[in-house]
Structure 1
């Protein structure tokens, strides 16, 4: 699979805006270029302009041309980093578990609120308001729209919820993304759908989801927000430079991305480590997930 869906060269003159963060091409991993991958957790045409802002700000901080890639899916992003086609990448929390194991991804930073606290989100299962299903156990024999294979909130956690509550005989329908899963429920194509708190906030803001017509019957524990990672086999000094640059970005640099992640108002990014995502490593072990499941 090729992680090539959308490519943006986010360039700024290194001497512009009075920046003192200059660097030669030798300070960057690919002749002055840094390849930044983002998973398609929302429609690419919506993600692109938001990540343009972040990429441009990161270009200025790093002194390297940041090339943005909205990849095809979770698996494509892991594969691209493993094959040396991405230098930094934002993964969903579960995608990060496998990226750390298979692509040497190392977490650097994630999204904080205005008080500087790392943000989180929840997975959820929703039904129509007039559905007879009142709790997750009532989904036995019903159809459930999930996002895409490898999504924490759109796949693994809802399946974990079904397993934990001993719910069998549920028809799982992978819709292709969070918006598509929601749309399947809105259009009456399925009995239930996963809708995470980020997608819920985004859809309500856009006026595409009337919450009064639906009901949530299950919600997960909080999940720490997506990590921005660096490929582990890169030079240690460059990895430190990327960490510093990310942590120096201002709220205005990340607010458009933060809006998709239900981070409003946003603060600067905060540092995260492997331990931050222990709950996702535990989830993968509990479900017996393997790389091919992402």
Structure 2
């Protein structure tokens, strides 16, 4: 569990990844710009160029500067929005639950496929092909690599799966991210690891994961994809302007980001609301999660 000091330090360590200017800055945008936060659910060096494409297109639609920031972790992003340092932010579904409660984050849009349908992904637990573990119940007494505290697919859902199946005495190892959890399994450092469907698609595409050498022993129900949110205490007219601009982005504008979220082929962004993420609110309640757990 993080202390307040650690969380504050994380928030102060926001990494500004770039500023995208439109033809004219200022206008109706707060302080003349929009600060857009993104969680580091993949290597930030890989995320940056993808989100710069989206940010540039958004800046053009809004007519103001968009400043892209990749934050340290879930907690840092929630705290940054709560402290008025972000106007919009993309959260993981579970991170959004607490951002809505503590930072007044309001969901605007998420990622759709080529048919315009909201996309989803699944959490999963994998073992080596020669592992004696065949089901999630077989993980009792074994080690399991998880992503990072607060991740829906990389933390909460695998733990929920263990709880639901009454599996005790599992050694949980927080690797620091989805790629790191997967590498822990590949390198034989743990008996099992969480690998969600998005990370699986990315790793297979880059040749870093040979699926024939591993086996999935548990999979969650579908999780709606990440929401892009706006800070709730901003002017309603500005919030409407941002939502409209995001909904007007073309599939090409979001294609590079969509590739990290296993959205292929990509469609335009689609509108979402609190009800879209009810399953995550219920999950947080079931596990008794608090803000400090994210």
The 10-residue stretch of structure 1 (209-218 or 5-14) with the greater mean CA deviation from structure 2 = 5-14
Unaligned runs of 5+ in 1: none
Query: Which stretch shows the higher mean deviation, 119-128 or 19-28?
Result: 19-28
- CA pair 104-142 structure 1, distance change in 2 beyond 3 A: same
Structure 2 CA distance for aligned equivalents of residues 16 and 76 of structure 1: 13
Q: Which runs of 4+ in 1 moved over 3 A?
A: 1-26
Change (3 A) 1:244 1:208: same
**How many angstroms apart in 2 are the aligned matches of 1:265 and 1:51?**
17
Inter-partner Cα distance in structure 2 for 1:288 and 1:12: 28
Q: CA RMSD in A?
A: 5.5
Query: CA 1:247/1:14 → structure 2, altered by over 3 Å: closer, same or farther?
Result: farther
Deviation at 1:75, TM superposition (A): 0.4
CA gap of 1:289–1:14, structure 2 versus 1, over 3 A, is closer
Q: Give 1:6 deviation, angstroms.
A: 19
How far did 1:7 drift?
19
Structure 2, unaligned runs of 5 or more: none
* 205 and 20 in structure 1: CA distance in 2 versus 1, 3 angstrom threshold: closer
- Alignment length (residue pairs): 293
Match of 1:245 in 2: 245
Q: Is the CA contact (8 Å cut-off) linking 1:99 and 1:105 kept in structure 2? A: yes
Contact kept, 8 Å, 1:10 with 1:55, in 2: the verdict is no
**Alpha-carbon distance between aligned partners in 2 of 1:14 and 1:150, rounded to the nearest angstrom:** 18
- Per-residue CA deviation, residues 94-116 of structure 1 (Å, 9 max, x unaligned), is 00000000000000000000000
Structure 2 vs 1, CA of residues 255 and 281 (structure 1 numbering), >3 Å: closer, same or farther?
A: same
TM-score of the superposition, structure 1-length normalised? 0.92
Q: CA deviation at 1:18?
A: 24
| Kept in 2: contact 1:71–1:77 (CA 8 A) | yes
Structure 1 residue 21: Cα displacement? 13
Q: Is the 8 A contact 1:3 1:71 kept in 2?
A: no
Alpha-carbon shift at residue 32 of structure 1 (Å): 1.4
What is the alpha-carbon distance in structure 2 between the residues aligned to residue 35 and residue 18 of structure 1? 10
Give distance in 1, aligned partners of 2:13 and 2:151: 37
TM-score, normalization by structure 2:
0.92
Task: Summarize deviations over 1:235-263 as a string: whole Å, max 9, x none.
Answer: 00000000000000000000000000000
